[in-house]
Chains A and B, each alone.
Chain A
Amino acid sequence: MRPDEARRWPALVAATLLVAPLAVLPVRALADVWRAPAVLPQEWGTRAVAYVASGNAGTLRALGLSVVVGVLTTVLALVLGWPVARGAARRGARGYAVVATFVALPLLVPEFATGTGLAAWFLRLGLADTVVGLVLAHLVYVFPYVVLILAPGFRAELTDLEEAAAALGAGPWQRLWHVSIPTLRSYVATATLLGFIVSLSQYGTSLAVGGGRPTLPLLLVPFVQTDPQIAAALGVVFLVPAIVALALAARAGRQPV
């Protein structure tokens, strides 16, 4: 073993200790019979997968609602967050700090508190238990992440590129589509994935403004006690975007940007 490799071992062990516990989710999801004290399941099977896919207990509806709300919220956050991130990044260190702090403010307040406050208005406006209500409530938490992830991408090099494109006669939309977005693609990809994950995991806001139309997390909680196998199967769904994000991050880390 070279000294270089020896130094890598503790890192890999530490990283594995953080990641390995998650493996219990797919194992539990596919364990039809797993009586204590056996360390491995007695019988593998697809009972939980079949149950989730059958749409019983509203699993498919909740999954669909979560995905629709997640996509809509993320797109809205990207559209609204783009000019803010751009404006904040070009404001100097002090100006950036002010904008970033203002934008990040909601992240520090408990989701259930924000949701309960919004529900007070949404009930009057007819937005309670609607997709629009859920998207607006999730936006409060997705928007800050999107802005804070996009902002570091707007560097001086991008301004130069945009000015060069303008000098060559490109209009604002052409510059956005052909210059800015491609240059920031790794930032946009990270912001999109993280925004989607944040929306997908919203519990307090969803319960407060949309308790009558359960999203995936709301549906999952009771299963932890009544049927852990189904809770595990639903939990696996949450891991998918996280693993995609990780793969993208690892790829971006290898590429010289």
Chain B
Amino acid sequence: MSLRRLLPLVPAVLVVGVLFGGAVVGALRTSLQPAAAGLLGDVSLDAWRAVLTDRAFRDALLFTSAVTVAATAVSAALAVALAGALLRSGTAARALAGLPVLVPHLVVAVVAVLWLGPGGLADRLLGTLPFEIVRDPWGLGIVAVYVYKETPFLLLLVLTAWDADVVDRQEAAAVHGADRWARLRHVVWPAIRVPLTVGSLIAAAFTFGSFEVPLVIGPTYPPTLAVLALQETQRSLLGGQARAAAILLVAAGVSLLLALLAGREVRRATR
């Protein structure tokens, strides 16, 4: 490939290769040097060993995974249901439905606390809520925030795939006597499966790294992996940074694995 064609891509290499790649190397280096001495200190696996045998790490990994699976599954189901309702709507309704994509997670978490927290608006409107959502041990508050954030993202993906063509085929299937479920399963699902799966995997990768949301609305224990990493840095100056880096690298690894799966889905679909 000619240099002329590659030249425009140099900034991408600078940002992703140097800055992001440097960050990954920096985290790896920190995790391997618990003593943090000099530029070329001794390499040690102490931090990794400490993290991988730590009960708190195991709890955090399980908790983060459970929250991620729950939030993603609910968001995907809601997105399909909402897409069905918004199918024939104009741009105004679609733009409104897209608004949560633009609102930062942190702000959504604040809104959730104001609505769902003890003495919040939901309590006042309905009497007492039957269960705790804010700072609850199951992480329901975190799930609620991510469902609110990820549903519109998945909704926009599903709406793009659920186009006029698909609607025509749905109508044709109806004429031939297919009921609602048969149409959804055999006409709509094949059209939206790939974008929904890929979008869900990406949403899951996002959710897996959740940090400020659990800080605001999550339980004290178990923490998510990112929050556990923060707690490690606060617990001890020496070694805490190394353990935090190791924990964050695990979280990053899982997120990238989910992204890899998404990429494989896309390749399989376009082949």
Residue numbers of A with Cβ under 8 A of B are 7-8, 10-12, 14-16, 18-19, 21-22, 24-25, 28, 36-39, 80-81, 83-84, 86-88, 91, 97, 99, 101-103, 105-121, 124, 136-137, 139-140, 143-144, 147, 194, 197, 200-201, 203-204, 207, 217, 220-221, 224, 228, 231-232, 235, 238-239, 241-242, 245-246, 249-250, 253-254
B102 touches A197 (CB 8 A): yes
How many angstroms between the C-alpha atoms of A22 and B111 in the bound complex?
Answer: 6
- Contact flags B209-232 to A (C-beta < 8 A → 1, else 0): 111100110000000011001100
B91 touches A253 (CB 8 A): yes
Given A24-B111, A112-B230, A117-B245; A221-B5 close (CB under 8 Å): no
How many angstroms between the C-alpha atoms of A103 and B259 in the bound complex?
Answer: 13
Q: Which of B15, B85, B98 contacts A80 (CB 8 A)?
A: B15
CB distance from A186 to the nearest CB of B (A): 13
How many angstroms between the C-alpha atoms of A207 and B212 in the bound complex?
Answer: 10
B86 touches A235 (CB 8 A): no
A8 touches B226 (CB 8 A): no
Surface stretch bound by A, among B41-49, B118-126, B161-169: B118-126
Given A7-B88, A8-B93, A116-B245; A83-B11 close (CB under 8 Å): yes
B111 touches A116 (CB 8 A): no
CB distance from A40 to the nearest CB of B (A): 9
A109 touches B209 (CB 8 A): yes
A110 touches B248 (CB 8 A): yes
Residue of A nearest to B10 (CB): A83
> Which 7 A-B pairs give the minimum distances between C-beta atoms?
A110-B209, A87-B8, A11-B89, A201-B104, A117-B23, A117-B27, A253-B91
CB distance from B112 to the nearest CB of A (A): 8
How many angstroms between the C-alpha atoms of A169 and B59 in the bound complex?
Answer: 66
Residue among A24, A112, A217 with the highest chain B CB neighbour number at 10 A:
A112
19 pairs, A vs B, C-beta closer than 8 Å: A7-B89, A8-B93, A15-B93, A15-B96, A25-B110, A25-B114, A84-B11, A109-B256, A110-B210, A117-B245, A118-B23, A201-B107, A221-B215, A228-B110, A238-B103, A242-B99, A242-B102, A246-B96, A246-B98
A217 touches B212 (CB 8 A): yes
Given A80-B14, A201-B106; A24-B215 close (CB under 8 Å): no
Given A37-B124, A108-B258; A10-B85 close (CB under 8 Å): yes
How many angstroms between the C-alpha atoms of A81 and B14 in the bound complex?
Answer: 11
- In the complex, chain B residues whose CB is within 8 Å of the CB of A91: 5
In B1-24, the 8 Å CB interface with A consists of 5, 7-12, 14-16, 19-20, 22-24
- In the complex, chain A residues whose CB is within 8 Å of the CB of B86: 10-11, 14-15
B11 touches A235 (CB 8 A): no
- In the complex, chain B residues whose CB is within 8 Å of the CB of A22: 99, 103, 111
Interface residues contributed by chain B, number (CB under 8 Å): 85
Q: A116-B248, A143-B11, A203-B212 are in contact. List 5 more A-B contacts (CB 8 A).
A: A14-B93, A37-B124, A102-B16, A238-B107, A246-B99
A12 touches B226 (CB 8 A): no
B90 touches A8 (CB 8 A): yes
CB distance from A208 to the nearest CB of B (A): 9
Residue numbers of B with Cβ under 8 A of A are 5, 7-12, 14-16, 19-20, 22-30, 39, 82, 85-86, 88-100, 102-107, 109-111, 113-115, 119, 121, 123-125, 148, 151-152, 202, 205-206, 208-212, 215-216, 225-226, 229-230, 241, 244-245, 248-249, 251-252, 255-256, 258-259, 263, 266
- In the complex, chain A residues whose CB is within 8 Å of the CB of B8: 83-84, 86-87
How many angstroms between the C-alpha atoms of A110 and B245 in the bound complex?
Answer: 12
Q: Which of B28, B102, B110, B226 contacts A235 (CB 8 A)?
A: B110
How many angstroms between the C-alpha atoms of A8 and B88 in the bound complex?
Answer: 7
Given A14-B82, A21-B115, A25-B114; A109-B252 close (CB under 8 Å): yes
A221 touches B106 (CB 8 A): yes
B206 touches A108 (CB 8 A): yes
CB distance from A225 to the nearest CB of B (A): 9
Residue of B nearest to A224 (CB): B216
Given A101-B263, A113-B209, A220-B110; A24-B22 close (CB under 8 Å): no
